[in-house]
Amino acid sequence: MDHPPLRADRWQTGDVIVVVCPGQGSQTPGFLSPWLELDGVAEKLATYSAAAEVDLQQHGTVSDADTIRDTRIAQPLIVAASLIAADALAARAGRRADGIAGHSVGEIAALVGSGVIDAETGMRLVGIRGRAMAEAAAQTPTGMSAVLGGDEETILTRLSELGLSPANYNGGGQLVVAGELAGLDALSTEPVKGTRVIPLQVAGAFHTSYMAAAVAALRDAVSTVTPSDPDLTLWTNRDGSIVTDGAQALDYLVDQVSSPVRWDLCMASFADQGITGLIELAPAGALTGLAKRGLRGIPAVAVKTPDDLDAAVALLNGDAA
């Protein structure tokens, strides 16, 4: 796939560093606690909580794993954490990254980071997205599983036979699939040769046609937003391309709710553009793990807590060992 090159004025150093924002499943109990030790974070969380209609401080510090697995809570928590980490990184580094992308709900944090929408708008949208997806998931018992290894075309053929759909093409030999529970059980009982199937603890078949009602709800919410064009190179999950139009970025954000996440194509585009480093914002870990397999040799830093900021700053400023 052809992609427009990174704009020359984004090359602020000899290195080209991309920030990535994680999706659902990266949250763990208490993960926001260390961030609340930073000046101003409690106030930001209060503002973000009001916008998303979720008590982020409560759920990010004391709620248990089952509570924060609820997509209505998980999505705002994840985006808020990414925004807080992004602000802390920018304050310490003195410069922005050269590009940004988000996986699934992480695209909302990426739209904020690229200037398409402001933080409060992003938190309002993620609150609506989380509630709408939870309501859509409640209509039919569905779920998701990760399929590791195997031949992709053979896997896709088997999914079609079972009435399942690909939801996340994560690259590095990982495909997340979704659909009704009977089909997922059949896939797990008789996996495709060379694969391992891992059921995921999520409430529904996200990024499939089961989310049609959530698409309509998010589209209504987005219709009230006036976006700006990205002022930072921005990739989309839709097909790994670079988006330069803010309105189009919002359209893709809406469509993404019921269409597959193409993180494999995003990573391929990162490589095509010659990135030299990757920083994953809190709650980090999943995307740097995928990068180890999909972007071999490119250094990556996972910013899980404020203690990881120094390593991220060093990579961003070209001072990493």
Which residue is listed with tokens 């659909």?
A: 179
Within 8 A by CB and 6+ apart from 241, the residues are 1, 3, 235, 265, 269
Phi, psi of 205, rounded to the nearest 5 degrees? -90, 75
d(CA 120, CA 200) in angstroms, rounded, equals 30
Query: Active-site positions?
Result: 104, 207
Are the C-beta atoms of residues 210 and 203 closer than 8 Å to each other?
A: no
List the strands of the sheet with 195-200, edge to edge.
195-200, 142-149, 174-180, 165-171, 261-262
Are the C-beta atoms of residues 78 and 68 closer than 8 Å to each other?
A: no
Closest to 243 measured CA to CA, from 199, 252, 49, 198: 252
